[in-house]
Amino acid sequence: MYKCRYWKVFHMGRYNAGASHMSIYLKFILFQTAIVIPFVAGALARRRIGAPQQFIRSLVRINIIGLEPVIVLWCTWGLVISPDIMILPVAGFGLIVTGVLAGSCAATVLKLSGKKRQTFLISSSLANHGFTMGGFLCYFFLGEQGLGLSVLFVLYFIPYVYGLVFPYAKEGSRQKISFGGFIEKIVLDIQNLPLFAMAAGLLLNAVGIRRPDIAFPVDALLLASISLYYLSLGISFTRGAIHGISKELAALSAIKFIVVPGMTFVLLCLLPLAPSVKAVIQLQSFMPTAIYSMVTAVLFNLDTDLASGLFVCNTFIFLTAVLPLMFLLKEMLFGI
């Protein structure tokens, strides 16, 4: 049985009890490095790239088609399915709903309207639960099992984004999304390969085909995936996006780092769930706004400067203030 073994060392993606333990501080440094250096490099290289948007799309496709499916398949294949696990996507959607409700209250207080209100609500709703933040931290805190559980946690994402967020954003741009286009995005789009990989891993698990006991470079693949995402973000970022958003940023940060995790902590204390499941849900509740908030603003002509500024600044606050506290308080928050 696949057990939750906190803080065992990974050697090329597998547990190795005989190896020396990787310090949590080293993990923290690696995580920060995989984000900061590629982001800065992308920002500096932006002017030297002839067609930045095309280059960004190429980087994203490398991730979605080449790296993420392999990581997802490996980690979900090694999971042991239990009734507790099935609550994960429900919990993920619950965090999203909490963000929407809190964001709606904040937007009313700030007197936001039109595209600015829509952009703020989408930023309040979407959280970085995937590989680019939440999934990566689940791996660092909880190992392969944590990463596998985080993949199940984000099952809500595709139906929520394509079924609710995009139609909502469409109201601001007056663009139309056909039902056929919606089905095509979910079923046929090659960008959904990570979802198919997850289904394949769970199927292999269900029929009793054991995952090969081989050295697999999960660590290296994750670092490469994270680095590519933040390199693409650095290339697309402009400095003007962070000006004049202090009130919106303060409200968003309160929602992401106080309201949502606080309510989650109280609720989890009342639920009889497995420790590993509780740890994943609580960890994911701290995540900053997602890069898809900026993607949605671009696709539907919302307030792209506000979306970009909120994403970058909210992520910066998380990395420099919230994440260090999570490491210091990991035993109280996550039971590890």
Can you give the residue ranges of every domain in the chain? 22-208+217-334
Q: What pLDDT is attached to residue 308?
A: 82
Q: Which residue has the higher pLDDT, 12 or 41?
A: 41
Fold of 22-208+217-334: Na+/H+ antiporter like fold (1.20.1530)
Of all residues in the chain, what percent are helix, strand and coil, respectively (each to 5)? 75, 0, 25
CA distance 117 to 111: 8
Task: Judge whether residue 15 has pLDDT over 60.
Answer: no
Instruction: Tell me the two tokens of residue 250.
Output: 């303060």
Q: How confident is the model over 230-289, as pLDDT tens digits?
A: 888 788 777 666 778 889 999 999 999 999 999 999 999 999 888 989 999 999 999 999
Task: Tell me the percentage of the chain whose pLDDT exceeds 90.
Answer: 28
Predicted local confidence at residue 94, as pLDDT:
95
pLDDT, the chain, mean: 81
| Per-residue model confidence (pLDDT) at position 187 | 54
Average pLDDT over residues 165-173: 73
Instruction: Indicate the pTM of the whole model.
Output: 0.73
Which tens digit of pLDDT belongs to each residue from 195-233? 788 888 889 988 889 888 888 888 788 888 888 888 887
- Tell me the HSE value of 217 on the side-chain side, using a 13 A CA sphere: 6
Residue 322: which pLDDT band, with cuts at 50, 70 and 90? very high
pLDDT at residue 43, rounded to an integer: 85
Look at residue 329 and tell me whether its pLDDT is greater than 50. yes
Question: What string of H, E and C letters represents the secondary structure of 83-111?
Answer: HHHHHHHHHHHHHHHHHHHHHHHHHHHCC
Q: In degrees rounded to 5, what are phi and psi of residue 10?
A: -100, 130
Contact 67, 225 (CB under 8 A): yes
- The pLDDT-based confidence of 178 (bands split at 50, 70, 90) is low
